[in-house]
């Protein structure tokens, strides 16, 4: 269904690892990042989609900092798990969060606001079903 990218905003793709369907971690001779197929981008929050750059039918997130947005989104939606080769998964996840708070505070605020609203909706839903 999805075709892995051959070219990226950072150059010709040399390696391409599948994170989940339609989501690829790529590297080039000099750089890399994560590329999400246009049809898969709908799983991302509006704030995450806004942070990506478009390239050849993909939303692209540069590896130095934007890529953490994708990792956070995929973890939140349980579409990706931290690889087993990472021994301290909690520390890895906290490093993602710290980078987002520091380098992408607008995204982080939007994420936190969305999570708070979701928790409020979940708290109200059981109360309404009990009334029926």
Mean pLDDT calculated for residue range 55-60: 97
Please, which residues have CB within 8 angstroms of residue 41's CB and are 6 or more apart in sequence? 49, 52, 59
**Cα dist from 63 to 25, 34, 123, whole Å:** 9, 7, 37
Q: What are the start-end ranges of the E strands in the chain?
A: 7-8, 11-12, 15-20, 23-27, 32-37, 53-55, 58-62
Question: pTM to 2 decimals?
Answer: 0.88
Mean pLDDT calculated for residue range 50-74: 96
Q: pLDDT (tens digit, 9 = 90+) per residue, 105-130?
A: 999 999 999 877 777 777 786 655 55
């Amino acid at each position: 269904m999805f075709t892995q990218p051959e070219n990226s905003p950072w150059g010709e793709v040399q390696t391409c690892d599948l994170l989940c369907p339609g989501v690829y971690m790529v590297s080039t001779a000099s750089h890399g990042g994560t590329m999400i197929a246009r049809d898969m981008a709908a799983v991302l929050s509006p704030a995450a989609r806004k942070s990506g750059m478009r390239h050849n039918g993909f939303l692209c997130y540069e590896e130095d900092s934007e890529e953490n947005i994708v990792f956070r989104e995929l973890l939140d939606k349980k579409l990706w798990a931290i690889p087993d080769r990472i021994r301290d998964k909690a520390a890895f996840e906290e490093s993602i969060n710290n980078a987002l708070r520091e380098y992408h505070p607008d995204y982080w605020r939007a994420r936190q606001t969305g999570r708070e609203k979701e928790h409020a909706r979940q708290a109200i839903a059981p109360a309404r079903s009990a009334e029926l």
